[in-house]
Structure 1
Amino acid sequence: MFWTADRIYSQGIEQAQQRIYEFFLETVRRQTPDEVLAVFKCLFINFNDQSNPEITAALDQILTAYNEKEFFYTLKRCCYILINNWTVSNNRVYIQSLIDVFKDSSIYKKPTSIKLRTLRIWLQFFIKSEDFKTLKLFTISLNPVSSLDHNWSNRFASYLLTDQYTNPTSSLEQRQAANLLAQEMKAKFQFNLAMYTARLSNHHSSQSKPNNPTSLSSNVLNLVTLMLTKNSVLNCQSQANNFLASIKELTYYDFKVRLLQYLDFSIADPEISETVQTKLHDDLFKLKAEHHDHLVNPYLILKTSKFLISQMTSSDHEHLTELFNILLHHTNPLNFVVLLLKLLLINDAVRSHLELRIALIIKYYSRYSESKCKSVIAFIDMLNIALAVYAGETRYNIVRMHTHETSISQEKDMHQDSQISKFDEKKYRIFSQVR
């Protein structure tokens, strides 16, 4: 092995970082949160932790190397070490105090020390970065009303965290913290939705209405009811089961043909249906065309599902596709939700890919006010409800309370925007239970 100057330099930085990580792991386990915050501030804000000269020297080594990227990584990982440990020890409230450290006015002062000046300039860059925005997501559950400037995208933070826990370049602590918070947010939404629908379907006029976890007003109950109606086109689970049973022993080419039939783009109006199918058909049949004569397998199903989701949302990780705009703005968003849900139900492994694409949509629209994003907000709310009903931890059941009445009628034209049918609260009840 040849030892170059670059390799020796790199190893020196890594060793300095490791000393800092081990120090904060030990400190957060032994000291109170207030004491930990004081140490964190002394090191990263003031660069003057005289009680821990070895750790100050380690940070000095990173500053001397003038490596902004490694400084950011070191700072982030230390933050997530604290967040993880405070979460485990039920001290999550101190996460807000950690964020508040970066509000210190001294960050914007110009010291005479060149190293301290460099440190504070980097801190200013960090505060304006996407990394810091992500860090602030961990305060939403602590104070959802006032956090992050009231942006409507806060309600969908579980999607925004997906990139953090699926990204292999994120530190282990960041992936763990992001995954835990995202799962908690999803579970909380599912619980609130179950409580809301159960209480609302059993609601009496003299009672105050329960809190609605979505922005869909009274349509929530109607939407859940429609999804639970067995003769509805939205009975996606049975359709997915039938589809999976029908593709056994099919070639990949025949699978694609059957897949387009299963997705049934006719749920939109005829013109939209033709446009969507035309845009998807040619590219779909070009995908892995060399495998057309092979038997379809889970890998090809996953690859195809990811491809279709990308075509309907974003195919380049940056811009939204034309198909997305068509499906969102020129038809009922529920039609769009059904297409995505059907793909998820035939292969649950596509979930993280779907969530990453939804996160991209949220980031794209978050620059606009809530009043300008009603369509996309309604779409994400509908998707969340669909995922809770079909792919969540809660089983929903609908019961007709008066047996002499006819069952919920299916609208003759399920292709119109009136898909969220009216629901007579006096005749039916929705019950939920853990699967």
Structure 2
Amino acid sequence: MDSWSDYYNRRITHHQTTYLEEEQLYGHLLDCVRTEAPEELLARFRMLFIEAGGYADHAVWQALKKIVDSPFVEKDFKFILNRSSYIFINHWLMQPRLHSAIPELVALFDANPSGLGRSRTTQRLRDLVRQFRTTDQYMALKRMAQVVSQTPEGTANGGSTLGTLIRRYPCLYNYNLLTTDSTDEQRRRVRQIKRHVQRQFERDLAQYATFKLLQGDIPAEQPKDLRSSKNPTLLSDRRLDRALQQFGGKIDGSNTYHDLAQRFLTYSSHARSYQGFKTDLYEYLTDSVDAKYGNRQFNQRLYSHLQTILPEHDEHQLNDVLLIGTCRKLLNFLVVENSQCPNHAIFVDLTGNLGITATIGLLLKIVLICRKVKPYLEKQFAILFKHYETCTRDSVTWLIDSLENLNVAFSINFGSLSL
């Protein structure tokens, strides 16, 4: 298996094989990034990994040669190349004016090397780089390049792929920009980018909501940016207005989603058993499902699925572990099973029959009673995004609209946005 844990363990237990050579390579790249401009670093990266020959520093080239000759290189090289790439990328992420170098670096992997590559090491390296283009690490690099190179406004072309919209959805970053071997530094950078994009979206959404509230009665002296507030989503104004009302307003005339969640938690705390809690949970969820759709078969399927969740604990008292486990299994049922079996037929059926806003509302009800599963829901949408990211936007409008609604729902219920 070419897992991260295997690679890590090999570095710990067999460090005399390539550990020292890897550290020599990383140390060299770190020295370069501190003193050289992006153009020089890109040229260096191309010569070392893409051309794979003629590198000026002989000692570094010999270290790379030993890495390539390792019996584990087929399994390990994706981790080595990924870390080498991020030594440059992490440095450039600290300076917004250097962000444009990141997509240039990622584009190098699609460049054809010049010359035939006569040495065995050169041919082997080129083969390994070609193989790298099939890995999760490479796809995460491409998404990172997309995030830093594109602003949300430049997203009108429906013929482009879903993947080009990744910047719009910070809730996906942890699972689509990072891999098992991501360093603490990478994770810190992604958190910073996520916070920045999320806050900007919340500011734009608050400005739009304020504009709509005052629309028709905005005095001439009102600030210009407020008088011309744009819809920050890919939803139509009508759909966004509905989402704002749904996720921030009173959905039953007197209660918001947050109110209903708090009421449910108070009521269910008196449940005599876990079985009783599941019955209460069924009522809580189906209360907001359109009766015509629910009575056809959905409500019965939901009830049956709830009975299959941790039945061995039915006579026990509810606790945090049971609550988290129940909500995770519910999200598997309603959204997608897992990355190995990305079955999401029920989610597609829900969005097509209940409507996308109501479907996201159903998921929101679950997350509001167990906030610890919010990252799990984000992971599930990341699975769907990966599954469809090479499809044209026009062919997955249901998923785009779902992610846009999710952005709005999270901003109102978990962010700083207050309506």
TM-score normalised by length of structure 1: 0.80
2:130 to 124, 135, 145: 124
2:333 to 303, 311, 314: 311
Report whether the alignment pairs 1:154 with 2:154. no
Following superposition, the deviation at residue 105 of structure 1 comes to 3.0
Which region of structure 1 is more displaced relative to structure 2, 138-147 or 123-132?
A: 138-147
User: What residue number does 2:4 align with?
Assistant: none
Per the alignment, do residues 19 and 393 of structure 1 end up closer, same or farther by CA in structure 2, a change over 3 Å counting?
farther
Q: Distance in 1 between matches of 2:183 and 2:399?
A: 32
Q: Residues 219-264 of structure 1, C-alpha deviation per residue, up to 9 Å, x if partnerless?
A: 2123313433336367100111111222225322221111112212
Report whether the alignment pairs 1:195 with 2:214. no
Contact 2:338–2:380 under 8 Å retained in 1 = no
Name the count of aligned residue pairs.
391
Q: Distance in 2 between matches of 1:113 and 1:201?
A: 69
SS at match of 1:314: coil
SS at match of 1:131: helix
- Structure 1 unaligned residues grouped into runs of 5+: 397-435
User: What residue number does 1:35 align with?
Assistant: 40
1:369 to 368, 378, 392: 392
1:211 to 188, 209, 230: 230
Q: Distance in 1 between matches of 2:326 and 2:343?
A: 19
Per the alignment, do residues 51 and 216 of structure 1 end up closer, same or farther by CA in structure 2, a change over 3 Å counting?
same
User: What residue number does 2:198 align with?
Assistant: 186
User: What residue number does 1:52 align with?
Assistant: 57
C-alpha RMSD of the superposition: 3.1
Quick one: percent identity of the two aligned structures?
Answer: 23
Contact 1:249–1:295 under 8 Å retained in 2 = no
Query: After TM superposition, which residue ranges in structure 1, 4 or more long, deviate above 6 angstroms?
Result: 5-8, 146-149, 205-208
Report whether the alignment pairs 1:93 with 2:100. yes
Contact 1:313–1:323 under 8 Å retained in 2 = yes
Following superposition, the deviation at residue 121 of structure 1 comes to 2.0
SS at match of 1:185: helix
User: What residue number does 1:296 align with?
Assistant: 318
Contact 2:140–2:178 under 8 Å retained in 1 = no
Contact 2:411–2:417 under 8 Å retained in 1 = yes
Following superposition, the deviation at residue 136 of structure 1 comes to 1.9
Q: Distance in 2 between matches of 1:7 and 1:217?
A: 54
Q: Distance in 1 between matches of 2:87 and 2:47?
A: 17
Counterpart amino acid of residue 43 in structure 1: L
Structure-to-structure mapping, 1:43-82, within 5 angstroms: 43-48=48-53, 50-65=55-70, 67-82=73-88
Contact 1:266–1:273 under 8 Å retained in 2 = no
Counterpart amino acid of residue 195 in structure 2: Q
Following superposition, the deviation at residue 194 of structure 1 comes to 1.8
Following superposition, the deviation at residue 299 of structure 1 comes to 1.5
Following superposition, the deviation at residue 185 of structure 1 comes to 2.9
Report whether the alignment pairs 1:230 with 2:221. no
User: What residue number does 2:5 align with?
Assistant: none
Per the alignment, do residues 346 and 156 of structure 1 end up closer, same or farther by CA in structure 2, a change over 3 Å counting?
farther
Counterpart amino acid of residue 282 in structure 2: L
- Structure 2 unaligned residues grouped into runs of 5+: 1-9
Per the alignment, do residues 22 and 113 of structure 1 end up closer, same or farther by CA in structure 2, a change over 3 Å counting?
same
Per the alignment, do residues 249 and 11 of structure 1 end up closer, same or farther by CA in structure 2, a change over 3 Å counting?
farther
Q: Residues 394-435 of structure 1, C-alpha deviation per residue, up to 9 Å, x if partnerless?
A: 222xxxxxxxxxxxxxxxxxxxxxxxxxxxxxxxxxxxxxxx
User: What residue number does 2:25 align with?
Assistant: 20
Q: Distance in 1 between matches of 2:155 and 2:120?
A: 37
Which region of structure 1 is more displaced relative to structure 2, 373-382 or 22-31?
A: 22-31
Following superposition, the deviation at residue 323 of structure 1 comes to 1.7
Q: Distance in 1 between matches of 2:356 and 2:142?
A: 30
Q: Distance in 1 between matches of 2:345 and 2:401?
A: 19
Which region of structure 1 is more displaced relative to structure 2, 126-135 or 322-331?
A: 126-135
Report whether the alignment pairs 1:245 with 2:257. no
SS at match of 2:40: helix
Per the alignment, do residues 170 and 50 of structure 1 end up closer, same or farther by CA in structure 2, a change over 3 Å counting?
closer
Q: Which has the higher helix share?
A: 2
Q: Distance in 2 between matches of 1:147 and 1:50?
A: 43
Q: Distance in 2 between matches of 1:361 and 1:243?
A: 30
Q: Distance in 2 between matches of 1:164 and 1:227?
A: 26
TM-score normalised by length of structure 2: 0.82
Contact 1:313–1:321 under 8 Å retained in 2 = yes
Per the alignment, do residues 13 and 160 of structure 1 end up closer, same or farther by CA in structure 2, a change over 3 Å counting?
farther
Q: Distance in 2 between matches of 1:62 and 1:390?
A: 49
SS at match of 2:418: strand
Structure-to-structure mapping, 1:255-334, within 5 angstroms: 255-273=277-295, 275-317=297-339, 318-334=341-357
Contact 1:313–1:324 under 8 Å retained in 2 = yes
Following superposition, the deviation at residue 133 of structure 1 comes to 2.7
Report whether the alignment pairs 1:385 with 2:411. no
Following superposition, the deviation at residue 7 of structure 1 comes to 8.8
Contact 1:165–1:176 under 8 Å retained in 2 = no
Following superposition, the deviation at residue 73 of structure 1 comes to 0.9
Counterpart amino acid of residue 388 in structure 1: S
Q: Residues 110-159 of structure 1, C-alpha deviation per residue, up to 9 Å, x if partnerless?
A: 31112101111222232354432321222333234489993234324435
Following superposition, the deviation at residue 310 of structure 1 comes to 0.7
SS at match of 2:408: helix
Which region of structure 1 is more displaced relative to structure 2, 185-194 or 155-164?
A: 155-164
Q: Residues 308-337 of structure 1, C-alpha deviation per residue, up to 9 Å, x if partnerless?
A: 011111113232233222212222112211
